[in-house]
Amino acid sequence: MPKILVTRHLGQQAMTVLEQSGLDLIVNPEDAAPSRDWVLGHLANPEVQAICLMHSQPSDKVDEQLLDAASPNLRCVSTFSVGYDHINVKAANARGVKVGHTPGVLDDAVADLTVMLVLMTLRRVGESIQLVRSGGWPQLPWAPFVNCGQSISHPSLTIGFLGFGRISQAALERLLVFTNKTDRPQIIYNSSRRRDNQDTIDADFSKRYGVDVKRVEKEELAAKSDILIVLCDLNPSTKDLVNKSFFEQMKESAILVNVARGPIVNSEDLHEALTTGQIWGAGLDVLTGEPNITADHPLLHVKNCLVLPHLGSADYDTRNKMAELCARNAIAAVRGDELLAEVKL
Amino acid sequence: MPKILVTRHLGQQAMTVLEQSGLDLIVNPEDAAPSRDWVLGHLANPEVQAICLMHSQPSDKVDEQLLDAASPNLRCVSTFSVGYDHINVKAANARGVKVGHTPGVLDDAVADLTVMLVLMTLRRVGESIQLVRSGGWPQLPWAPFVNCGQSISHPSLTIGFLGFGRISQAALERLLVFTNKTDRPQIIYNSSRRRDNQDTIDADFSKRYGVDVKRVEKEELAAKSDILIVLCDLNPSTKDLVNKSFFEQMKESAILVNVARGPIVNSEDLHEALTTGQIWGAGLDVLTGEPNITADHPLLHVKNCLVLPHLGSADYDTRNKMAELCARNAIAAVRGDELLAEVKL
């Protein structure tokens, strides 16, 4: 009887899907990461044809060791994540093992958080929360412009996206309802390369969103954006892309929001940009070195910087959808069907 | 020469409007509230025909004393605020003094903040900010549902409004872009009284927003709302309206967002509702007793409660528009024109 190995309970919704598949399951009984030996031991079982595993459990790293330990009957490694940097996809594919992941289902959750971070950063909310918690509210002298932030309905706003995939577009759709109804915003973005039919692509975007949307080079993106949103992949060409020289080109009134991956923004250069007034504020859901961000991290001590612990996809509905897609990828593989979402290099 | 007395510098935009009016100005030279004597002394000047004043400066309270001190030539009291609980409107009107205020121009800013607070409360962002700041991120064990909040695109969501005026409608317009595209939300609201043509009114709202909108009684609002937004006036009938018995009717998964006035929600009952799990979370921009909220306030020590220091209208564009409307009301009065926005009891 074919079996699916599950390295962590996936929540009731996905577990029900697995149970109703009629396949046998081997589920880690602990509400914690299993040991590496537990994973390797069960993978050696010739009945185990698929494994549902986690991005952030060291036990689950799919490397040559794990692939060597698995029986030749393993057909699929199905990760509960979009990212697959914990998986040696090439080595897996070379042994006939497909890699499944969970794209798409988290776009709305990340777009929601993006808009929330834009509003929080514009309105200086991190600073205000600290003021209240530290007991500073009673001492705050009232003034016409006390605690003021920037308005998202400011006329002729320019919103810039570094990366313009599905999540950026979902964030844009939400942002537009907040922007000035008369003096509409300009949307600019930078994507990895200019296409031959770029003008047609941008005309289509402009039509779809009812505002002017245009691909620009990185320099123009830095110089013109009032709100700069980082939503590109992390790869060698984007690591440290937002650095000292990028910040030097930005407006002093601009804000930066990073909801992609920490290392795209250079933390030291961001610290300098925030403390010297090169930019106005930053909202970060991701940060280089996470989760090992201790209380003495310099960016936690800058008033105009807000840091969240990578909440992007963290809502129950979204995580349940990711878990279900992870389960369905594994089931499809065992049945010899196409995966619902396969990593293809 | 008619003069306008200005008790606080109104920012460059509004001051330019005042200067270009050709009228003489007497402006408080300090970046602080003036003394009561300064205000009363200048009001006795028979050339002073209007005063631009502030809601939150004790010097500016418009009572019998102030009206007695003013020359009979005073035509207008123009406040830099929507609220006018610092003004004895009846006494002013009885002496032929009109009262100007600044409604409308802050609707967008408050609606933006409302949506931001809804997202922050659903996604448990206050708690997460504290986790990061206190250095707890490295110790947070990863799990499939760690740090999870609720999704605003949950199917069949019910969004409830206590009060359904311009700001509620502006917030609704923004919220709808985040909600489930297939399984649309239900919108319910309670307003002070049921109108004779209530069904027609609600049909018009439903058509305008493309979702089902319906006035309900308070009990139904409490029982059915997944997201409850308080955006009504504070008056004797709404004080403590959201109290123990209201919370007892609410869903355990529901959140409360108050962006109106603190005393509409009973703080002790809210504390009990949050700590006993009667409701899931709260986001407050206003709180009874503000600004005298000290660090030991019980609601600041509840994980699922987020408190902001009354940021509703606090963005530069909005405050400039309020200041300009305050200035234009005063100018109109001196010229013998209708005020742009007059308080009429």
Q: What is the DSSP track for A105-125? A: TTHHHHHHHHHHHHHHHHTTH
pLDDT range class, residue B149, cuts 50, 70, 90: very high
Contacts for A130-135 with beta carbons within 8 Å, 24 or more apart?
Answer: A130/A303, A130/B133, A131/B309, A132/B293, A132/B300, A132/B307, A132/B308, A132/B309, A133/B130, A133/B295, A133/B300, A133/B307, A134/B295, A135/B293, A135/B294, A135/B295, A135/B296
Q: Which residue on chain A is closest to B34 by alpha carbon? A: A143
Q: Alpha helix locations (H) across B158-251?
A: 166-176, 198-209, 218-224, 244-249
Position B340 in a domain: no
Report chain B's terminal Cα–Cα distance, integer Å: 31
Q: How many CB atoms lie within 10 A of CB A219?
A: 12
Is pLDDT of B303 > 90? yes
Q: If you average pLDDT over residues B161-177, what whole number do you get? A: 97
pLDDT of residue B220: 98
Shortest distance between the Cα of B163 and any Cα of chain A, in A, equals 21
B163 and B20 share a domain? no
**Catalytic entry in B42, B86, B101, B310:** B310
Contacts of B296 in chain A (CB under 8 A): 135
End-to-end CA distance of chain A: 31
Per the prediction, chain B carries an average pLDDT of 97
Tokens 């209201």 label which residue?
Answer: B246
> Same structural domain for residues B54 and B149?
no
Nearest neighbour of A133 by CB, restricted to B290, B300, B315: B300
CB contact under 8 A, B309 and A140: yes
Tell which residue, A15, A66, A316, A132, has the closest CA to residue B129: A132
Mean of pLDDT values over B219-224: 98
The CA distance from A99 to B7, in Å, is 69
pLDDT at B291: 93
- A203 in a domain, yes or no? yes
Contacts of A142 in chain B (CB under 8 A): 33, 54, 56-57, 291
B101, pLDDT greater than 90: yes
**One domain, residues A130 and A30:** no
* Angstrom distance (rounded) from CA B331 to CA B17: 9
- Distance, in angstroms, between A194 CA and closest chain B CA? 30
**Amino acid B205: pLDDT:** 98
Q: Is residue B343 part of a domain?
A: no
Does residue A44 sit in the same domain as residue A138? no
Classify the C-alpha dihedral A53-A57-A62-A68 as positive or negative. negative
Higher pLDDT, A142 or B93: B93
Shortest Cα–Cα distance, A103 to chain B (Å): 16
- ipTM for this prediction: 0.95
Q: Is B160 exposed, middle or buried (0-12, 13-18, 19+ CB in 10 A)?
A: buried
In this complex, the residue of A8, A173, A318 whose CB is nearest that of residue B151 is: A318
Name the stretches of chain A with pLDDT < 50.
none
Give the pair of three-digit tokens for residue B306.
């987020």
C-beta neighbour count of A236 within 10 angstroms: 6
Interval B2-14: pLDDT, tens: 999 999 999 999 9
Q: Is A294 exposed, middle or buried (0-12, 13-18, 19+ CB in 10 A)?
A: exposed
Sign of CA dihedral B298, B303, B304, B308: positive
Q: Nearest-CA residue of chain B relative to A154?
A: B317
Are residues A89 and A77 part of one domain? yes
Q: At residue B142, does pLDDT exceed 90?
A: no
> Which residue carries 């100005």 as its tokens?
B25
Residues B97, B179: one domain?
A: no
Same domain, B113 and B241: yes
Q: Is residue A166 part of a domain?
A: yes
Nearest C-alpha of chain B: how many angstroms from A57?
Answer: 8
B112 to A123: CB separation less than 8 angstroms, yes or no: yes
Reading the block at residue B69, the tokens are: 């001190």
Q: What is the pLDDT of residue A51?
A: 98
Residue B341 lies in a domain: no
Q: Tell me: cis bond preceding B29? Omega within 30 of 0 counts.
A: no
Instruction: Judge: A317–B132 Cβ closer than 8 Å, yes or no.
Output: no
In a domain, B344, yes or no: no
- Say yes or no for a CB contact (<8 Å) between A123 and B146: no
SS3 B143: coil
| Closest chain A residue by Cα to residue B294 | A135
- The pLDDT score that the predictor gives to residue A141 is 84
The answer to whether residue B339 is domain-embedded is no
Nearest-CA distance from A120 to chain B in Å?
7
Q: Quick one: average pLDDT of B28-50?
A: 97
Residue-level pLDDT at A31: 92
Average pLDDT over residues B237-257: 97
pLDDT of residue B193: 82
Q: Are residues B257 and B174 in the same domain?
A: yes
A147 & A292 share domain: yes
- Residue B216 pLDDT greater than 90, yes or no: yes
State yes or no: is A310 an active-site residue: yes
Does B193 map to a domain?
yes
pLDDT attached to residue B32: 94
- Residues of chain A contacting B33 with CB distance shorter than 8 Å: 142
Instruction: Say how many domains are in chain A.
Output: 2
φ, ψ for residue B42 (rounded to 5)? -70, -30
Q: Hey, is B191 helix, strand or coil?
A: coil
For residue A5, what are the β-bridge partners? A26, A51
Find the CATH number of the domain harbouring B134: 3.40.50.720
For residues B287-308, give the mean pLDDT. Answer: 97
CB-based contact A143 B31, cutoff 8 Å = yes
Residues B151 and B163 in one domain: yes
Q: What is the mean pLDDT of residues B112-123?
A: 98
Print the domain residue range for A176: 107-307
Candidates B56, B117, B145, B255, partner chain A, best to mutate (most A CBs within 10 A)? B145
Helix (H, G, I), strand (E, B) or coil at B182: coil
Examine the domain organization and report whether B180 and B89 are in the same domain: no
For residue A85, what pLDDT is reported?
A: 85
User: Which residues sit opposite A147 in a β-bridge?
Assistant: none
What are the chain B neighbours of A290 within 8 Å (beta carbons)?
Answer: 137
Total CB pairs under 8 A between chain A and B: 204
* Ranges assigned E (strand) in chain A: 3-6, 24-27, 48-54, 76-80, 98-100, 158-162, 186-190, 212-215, 227-230, 255-258, 281-284, 305-307
Burial class (CB in 10 A: 0-12, 13-18, 19+), A310: buried
User: Which of A116, A146, A307 lies nearest to residue B116, judging by beta carbons?
Assistant: A116
Chain-chain contact of B9 with A150 (C-beta, under 8 angstroms): no
Residues B42 and B92 both lie in one domain: yes
Q: Helix or strand or coil: residue B229?
A: strand
